[in-house]
Amino acid sequence: MLRKRRNTIIFLIGLIVLVYFLFLKMTDSHNQSDLSVELEKRLSELKVEVVASDEALAKLEAQVVSLEKGEQLPEAVDDNKPIVISGNRVTKEQKAYDLATFSSSGQVCSLSEAPQPKTDVQMYNVIDSISFDDVDGGVWKQGYPIKVQDSQWTPEKPLKVFLIPHSHDDPGWLKTFDGYYSAQVKNILDNMVLKLRQHERMKFIYAEISFFSTWWKSATEEQKESVKRYISEGRFELVTGGWVMPDEAAAHYWAMLDQLIEGHSWIRDNLGPNVVPRSGWSIDPFGHSSTMPYILRQSGLRNMLVQRIHYSVKKYLSINKFLEFNWRQTWDSVGSTDILCHMMPFYSYDVPHTCGPDPKICCQFDFQRLPGSRLNCPWRKAPQPITDANVHERAATLLDQYRKKSSLYKSNVVLIPLGDDFRYDTPGEWDKQYTNYDKLFTYMNGKSEWNVKAQFATLSDYFNELRKESGDPELSGASLAGFPTLSGDFFTYADRADHYWSGYFTSRPFYKHWDRHLESTLRSSEIIFSLAQAKAHHNHINTFQSKELYEKLTYARRSLGLFQHHDGITGTAKTVVVADYSERMLRGWKSAHEVIKESAQLLLSDSSAVEQEVFDVDWLKDVEDVLETRRLISLSSGQRKELVIYNSSPHQRQEVVRVWVSRVPISVYDVTLQAVECQVSPYFDTETVVSNNKFKLSFLAKVPALGMVTYSLEASETNPCTIATVTYYNHRDSVANDGVFNPTVDTGDKLTIHNDQLEVELSTSSGMLLSMTDRKSNEQHPLEMSFIKYKSSKAKDHAGGAYLFIPTGSSQSVLQSRPLMRVIKGNLFHEVHTMTSLVEHTVRIVNTPGPESLGLEVVNIDTITSQDDTDFGMQLSSAVKDPESSDAVFYTDLNGFTMYKRKKQEKIQLQGNVYPMTSMMYVENDSTRLSVLAAQSAGVISLSPGNLQVILDRRLNQDDNRGLGQPVTDNKRTESRFYILFEKKTPSKHKDKVIGYPSLTSAILYQHLISPLITLHVKSGKTPQSQFIPLTTSFPCELNLLNMRSSHDSVSTEVKAESLLLVHHQATDCSLPSKGLTCSTNNGKVDIESLFKDLKVKSLERRTLTDLEVHSDSSSRSLDIQPMNIAAYKLTFE
């Protein structure tokens, strides 16, 4: 019935247009004008009916699908509460939203309700069991004496030595990316081509595709052919294949995966489809997350290597011969996520710490340190050139180290890296390393009684031999029988004594915030570009500049990817390098905006013509080291301007949109020309001076999944937006009326703000939060918020810096007595601004029918340039405690991918109890969970039950002696955003579990936090179409669309009509009911063929995550993703 009515309306529209053109030919200009007015009026009315029909149809179709699956429909929301008129001013009351609540079941709950899968090594238990003493182990200072017997090796089972030459090249640290490339990296790769030709037994591995791709652009055809030949011969290997070697603490899993896709895509496009990385190489990230092995395994890699692990953990694993293990995800009960991992046992990846336990001996076999070289051995025992006279003694000495290192592992195959930072940049080093090791190996291999076979090797050479020796001769899988299974992560890293690398979790927070902003913008641009390209292909639109836009996308991808480097997002590079990263990200951000504008323009066009640019993006930023700001919408009286709101989420969203306008009164209308809920709040020129030509306008927008909707603003007194009330606390001066807000002053000791779900109480003495109350159950949750600081140690060789957090004692409160407070209250939100000398602190609750109304938004803008040697933080003290335990137990995420249980260890110094938080943390008991969702990464700690601390910013006036060579004093005005959420829960079935899961509500809320709606300003006139609805139904709640990533033909550079669809099935904790969601669950399934409204799917193929290979399960025409898994599909449109 609805569809028939819609078709009738469209027919009438066409008829009216035809009549209009006939009258133009038959009438004079006066009658034409009258007719135009009447026809435009009728057309507007009919368009409203079409839109209403579309919305009703989409809603009915979604409900039918849900009912067919036996799912309960969300309760309807009453939008008919009347507007109350008071005098000549609209004072709309807050709507009372009855948020739909439902409990999930099925697959989405399967992991949270299951017992903890068993593994041989569970790192949570290992941390509990280790004493963390720092006993002098002799030559292996952090280990123990190693003794071996010659009889351990036989002619049938000889020691197999694999020497792996490598150069670790940071894409930015002490020099910029370009600085390193021109000074050293180009020479390294030029020499590699030359020297592998001259030294036929020499081999080499390389990791950083960002550098390698730069070199490739200027390489000669002869050099390129040589590289391809070396790869085919197994003499040169690209390990991991990522754009960078990413950090694993502060980086979000989206960006970690994206930089790997970018690297693998470059390999496929330039080296061919047969070059597929199989082994991961991660020697320098400062601690290791379980996220990276998952991503690598699902991208087709079978092996990986790690290095920077706490020395006590390495000692424990080496004693038990667990240094090689099948790394398994914490939720995995069957081993489908296993990847074979090798852990290097000693202090560093440099030559002195890789041949064996004694660095003074190993240093003598780094032949780049021969007398007269730029390097030397700090143990004052220099290397010697290998001659016939000394080869026996030198070979025996080196073999002893190899044997001792081998004894730490289960097999007779030993891995010996030969390299360091920016090594092999001169031809002489290649010659010295090769000729001396070649003599040593020739001698060793000729001594049959020594039972040794030594050779130059690549990383995959080592793993292939290890697998053959251990019963996997076909190299058939990733897991290796006979080796232990291990689950968990390797944080927090310490390299010696109590020097924990937990400072970098927060260092340079301005850039960590900036990273997330670019990440969100890039993701949004990828998705909308893929949809636009599909439309252009389907409709044969040749005017869409897809090649140019794809180049902009590529630049944005690579600028974000470069920053994921373990000296980028970590905040551990020189000031000039950090600024260079940020400049690149700014250009990438602007490039992504261009993609969004052009793509939106095509998708909202009603013909094949793409006219001149019609959009501006709301966000503005022209200088890399300042926070983003907004574009001001200038309106004259009676003028109307349009905004387009874009939702990159796969779920429909209804939430508050904010813009800045030049005048009031103002009204907001939706596509049906109905007035929408809106609120005008003040823009403050100073702490207490309200602007008279800039106002903050907020309105409630409803946007379909992956879609766009137009809203119009009108400077008019008809249906004006609510003017918020403004109240000052602790204001000592007189307040002038401004004619709009007319602020008042209050002197109470406490104040409250509320919406229909929550009431929040704050102290006017401290300006800080005291409690949150659930207004539906009337349950009050005490929650005291405060700001704290730690003073950093400045002692020689024990100082805090960019890497290290070394406090001198407990935290100190930095609360300011009776700070100025501004309370803003309106129909859409209430907020409080607390103004202190160090931070502008805002708490906000919104009144919407979505999950945002269930939590408290917290925004801090800090400036700590006056605080030397300080770690500045936010503290939350709650009553959410387990009455049966005195342990401070809490959960933090790993890269936004999994949640992992933590416990404050009294045997470890405070800095060792700090963990990275990329997206969220929580504490809970049997009845309540308190979650903190974060829009940026930071270091966090729980010092006592129910207590949470987030380190917001750091200023260190000295270096911490880890190579950076500078203090961290380039602090900026920095924003951090959080949501605080209390949720009711039922007792957990398995309290011994070390993995946690967010509630479905908090998972959706977090997605909204990091992927906000994007506002486009229409420059003039109207958009041809008022909305874009690409999907027939939203994705199920549990599925998050990570990306729709376009690709191009590497030869023609034409953009393909296909996308890599990346989807994550977020497992959730079903002991917490879901609330405020418009989507429903469907066990991770989506019917792709009926998903798109105006596009037809040609094919769907399951792929590995980086799209290099077909996945083993590639036959289905629909999505069917198991909980916690990320799946990649090549989606081709007709």
User: So which residues are the catalytic ones?
Assistant: 284
Instruction: List the beta bridge partners of residue 641.
Output: 713
393 contact partners, CB below 8 Å, separation of at least 6:
none
Torsions phi, psi of 992, nearest 5?
-85, 0
CB atoms closer than 10 angstroms to residue 937? 28
Apex CA 651: angle with CA 854 and CA 1129, to 5°?
Answer: 135
Contact 296, 1104 (CB under 8 A): no
Cα torsion angle, 653, 656, 662, 666, sign = positive
d(CA 9, CA 743): 50
Helix (H) or strand (E) holding 940: strand 938-941
Contact between residue 90 and residue 722 where contact means Cβ atoms under 8 Å apart: yes
- 509 touches 938 (CB < 8 A): yes
HEC string of 1096-1128 equals CEEEEEEECCCCCCECCCCCCCCEECCCCCEEE
At 101, list the tokens. Answer: 């609540």
Contact 1055, 547 (CB under 8 A): yes
Contact 102, 980 (CB under 8 A): no
* CB of 246 closer than 8 Å to CB of 296: no
Angle at 459 between CA 246 and CA 179, to 5 degrees: 45
> Is-contact 201 435, C-beta < 8 A?
no
Closest CA to 991 of 1096, 861, 847, 891: 891
State the virtual CA torsion across 545, 551, 552, 558 in degrees, nearest 10. Answer: 160
**CA 566, CA 285: separation in Å to the nearest integer?**
6
What value, to the nearest 5°, has the Cα angle with vertex 434 and ends 180 and 452?
125
Quick check: 842 and 753 in contact, CB under 8 A?
no
Residues 6+ apart with CB under 8 A from 196: 202, 203, 204, 226, 230, 235, 236
Q: How far is residue 159's CA from residue 406's CA, in Å, rounded to a whole number?
A: 8
DSSP of 146-196: ----GGG--SSS-EEEEEEEEEE--SSSSS-HHHHIIIIIHHHHHHHHHHH
Give the separation between CA 279 and CA 281, rounded to whole angstroms: 7
| Phi and psi at residue 387, to the nearest 5° | -130, 170
Q: How far is CA 1101 from CA 336, 1061, 1093, 1124, 1126, in A?
A: 20, 10, 20, 20, 14
Shortest CA distance to 422 belongs to which of 194, 203, 208?
A: 208
Provide DSSP, 856-882.
EEEEEEE--TT-TTEEEEEEEEES---
Distance CA 312, CA 143 (A): 8
Rounded Cα–Cα distance for residues 594 and 591 (Å): 5
What is the spatial distance between Cα 1069 and Cα 975, in angstroms, rounded to a whole number? 30
The packing angle between helices 509-538 and 253-271, to 10°, is 50
